[in-house]
Amino acid sequence: MSSFRGKYFLDTLSAIERIGAAQSPAAIGEIITSTAASFGYGHVCFLTSAGSHQPFEERVLWQAWPKSWAEQYRSSNFYAHDPLAPRIRQQAEMFAWSDLPVDRMSPASRHVMEIAAVDYDLRFGLCAPVHGMNGYQAGLSLAGRDVERTPEANSAIELVTMYAFNRFAILRSRQQTKPAVLSAREREVMNWVAAGKTAWDTSVILSISEDTVNKTVTAAMHKLNAHTRAQAVAEAIKRGLITF
């Protein structure tokens, strides 16, 4: 990490202090966005590492990409061909998008980068990986048109990235350890889900609409931090929220 001083130091220290006081992921994201913008990067995306079972959108800690680019990136599965993705997982040091040799990219990878630059004006980019003892943990991608490419600016971004990821992890840990409280209706519905009943079966048994059943299950899954109904049932049983 390059050294930096003066205004860079004060601005970075201020950003770090505000990140440390942030009480929500959105608050952290806004600080990241404003810090990046001060160096000319108008767009950012912060991704966490994940297993193959986790959809791309669930790995996003924060993003401020152009909306249409984010939608096209997801719907076209650009992540599978994005040349930045393997590099950020393998390399612990920051790197510019331009560091990737175009002649070594696959046609699909070149296509992704061309669309970003030509269609969305994401012409100069930077990646700040976060690596720990066990390897890749997360990565911040930044993009803009007229950006400050100095070592001091890069050092500031790198520090803010590391502190932001740590704060994201702290808030997520607090959320996961917070005891889940299911409403009486949620417990009732989840008991029938545990018994193997479909949403339609449960709607008939409880004399409610199938849509209400599905929304109730979704709410319970969110409270239990579960990605599937089976996970939600297992977690609810483990916590003693339902019996089976």
- pLDDT one-digit tens code per residue, 162-205: 999 999 999 887 776 666 789 999 999 999 999 999 999 999 99
Give me the pLDDT at residue 139, please: 95
188 DSSP 8-state letter:
H
| Rounded alpha-carbon distances, angstroms, from residue 204 to 4, 19, 213, 229 | 66, 49, 10, 19
CATH 1.10.10.10 residue ranges of the chain are 184-238
CA nearest 184: which of 149, 214, 220?
A: 220
What CATH code would you report for 184-238? Answer: 1.10.10.10
CATH 3.30.450.80 residue ranges of the chain are 7-177
pTM of this prediction? 0.69
Identity of residue 106: S
How much is the average pLDDT of 122-148? 93
How much is the average pLDDT of 84-100? 94
Q: What is the layout of strands, in order, in the sheet containing 124-132?
A: 60-63, 43-48, 135-144, 124-132, 95-96
How do residues 96-123 score in pLDDT, each as one tens digit? Answer: 999 999 999 999 999 999 999 999 999 8
| pLDDT band (50, 70, 90) for residue 6 | low
pLDDT exceeds cutoff 80 at 4:
no
Question: Does domain 7-177 sit in CATH 3.10.20.30?
Answer: no
- Look at the block and give the residue holding tokens 């109730």: 216
How do residues 27-85 score in pLDDT, each as one tens digit? Answer: 999 999 999 999 999 999 999 986 545 677 778 899 999 999 999 999 999 999 999 99
Q: Rounded to the nearest 5°, which phi and psi values hold at 112?
A: -60, -45
Identity of residue 215: K
How do residues 217-227 score in pLDDT, each as one tens digit? Answer: 999 988 888 88
Give me the pLDDT at residue 85, please: 92
